[in-house]
Structure 1
Amino acid sequence: MDRVRLAADGADVSHVVRLVLALTAAVEGPQRVDVAHTGAHVLRLMQSPTGVVYVSPGGFIAGEVGTTIITPELVAIEHGWFATDRSGLRLLSAFEIWAASMGCKGIKMSTGPTHAAAARILERRGYRPAELAWYR
């Protein structure tokens, strides 16, 4: 894995699961990672015609096409985005290109509540805050 590419096999699933564990720790997420569920979810996205998973040596981005309660327009919904190797912007670019190829009119991204660097990247690319997720 020397560049950003589509996830292709079980080794990539394991790679993403390890990164999800690191992501959860980095953002101090309130949810416990269920490794089996996460692996199955990643595999489902890889196999779905409306899902995608990109990987780099130290990162991933995963998501799928959906709609919102507000409009039937297609939106690319990110389920996870994390990089330890400075590939975050390349991963985001690949996701944006994929979303456009899928006919999406928007992209829904998330960041940790205290992850200012990711927020700055998104803002520079034209994203704006739309909601704040709360978990109990």
Structure 2
Amino acid sequence: MSRTPTHIRTTRRAGRFALRVAVPLAGTGLALTIPAAAYADPGSAVYLAANSLPVVIANLQAWVMGILAALATLFLVLAGVYWATAGGDPSQVEKAKLALRNALVGYGLAVLAPILLQIIQGIVGG
């Protein structure tokens, strides 16, 4: 018989179950969001054109905001999992608080990304 208290064994089982369910669901969601390959018409010529600086900055802004929001959401989910599986363990609760703080910082940076990129655009001269 194990010497681990019942409530700790239960929270460990719940944490393992959450990870067993969350990881495949996240992978499936990611696979469904990836678009199918697009093929160019083989009979037409392809011309590459460089974008202007404002277009590049706008594209960069969209990417940065998306990446920051995705990372912040990941930290928010991790904070929830840590908090739900803490079972009163102070170190797990601290880990959950740190993950929640990281999520809030990520969301803050995602909100500030347009302002920061406007400053960069002003410095570069676009």
TM-score by length of 1: 0.22
More helix by share: 2
More strand by share: 1
TM-score by length of 2: 0.23
Indicate the structure whose relative CO is greater, using CA pairs within 8 Å and at least 6 residues apart.
2
